[in-house]
């Protein structure tokens, strides 16, 4: 489910512009960190860690690209939920969020992360209700706005 307010803000900020690459990486990382606790595979967690190191400047693009390839492979082979209520599906979406973030596809990462968060809290009934996404959507807009303000001011972001 897409976040129209986030899409609008991303367009206003020109998030996809090459000049905004650091902002795009920071935002994608923030979104996936928020659902990192839902990851079940330590290998996906390791990929998320590479993204964090890249954002901090302690990993290079080659490491990022290797992690992106591994995260995509892992997300595509995730077994899904083994529980009767299907809550494990949140881990699938969280894994895809990491994969998209590592590809620099921040809005897709945000979408998967929101889905994972909502599914983890309320299962399939929650993801069928658009209103269930509003707290995550609001957080994403506030997070991108805050990160953009920090970038513009040249100050470290949270």
DSSP string covering 32-97: HHHTGGG---HHHHHHHHHHHHHHHTSS-HHHHHHHHHHHHHHHHT-----STT-TTHHHHHHHHH
Inform me whether the pLDDT recorded for 109 exceeds 90: yes
Total tally of structural domains belonging to the chain = 1
The confidence score (pLDDT) of residue 143 equals 98
| 80 found inside a domain | yes
| 16 found inside a domain | no
The confidence score (pLDDT) of residue 83 equals 54
| 157 found inside a domain | no
Q: Which domain holds residue 118?
A: 4-11+21-151
Inform me whether the pLDDT recorded for 88 exceeds 80: no
pTM here?
Answer: 0.91
The confidence score (pLDDT) of residue 158 equals 53
What pLDDT band is residue 128 in, cutting at 50, 70 and 90? confident
| 50 found inside a domain | yes
Inform me whether the pLDDT recorded for 115 exceeds 60: yes
Name 74's Cβ contacts closer than 8 Å, sequence gap at least 6.
41, 43, 44, 47, 95, 99
């Amino acid at each position: 489910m897409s976040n129209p307010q986030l899409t609008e803000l991303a367009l206003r900020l020109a998030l996809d512009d090459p000049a905004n690459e650091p902002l795009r990486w920071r935002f994608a990382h923030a979104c996936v960190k928020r659902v990192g606790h839902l990851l079940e595979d330590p290998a996906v967690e390791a990929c998320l860690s590479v993204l964090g190191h890249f954002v901090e400047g302690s990993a290079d693009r080659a490491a990022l690209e290797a992690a992106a390839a591994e995260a995509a492979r892992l997300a595509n082979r995730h077994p899904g939920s083994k529980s009767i209520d299907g809550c494990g599906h949140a881990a699938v979406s969280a894994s895809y969020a990491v994969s998209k973030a590592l590809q620099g596809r921040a809005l897709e990462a945000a979408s998967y992360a929101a889905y994972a968060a909502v599914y983890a809290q309320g299962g399939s009934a929650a993801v069928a209700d658009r209103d269930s996404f509003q707290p995550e959507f609001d957080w994403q807009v506030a997070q991108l706005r805050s990160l953009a303000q920090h970038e513009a001011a040249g100050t470290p972001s949270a």
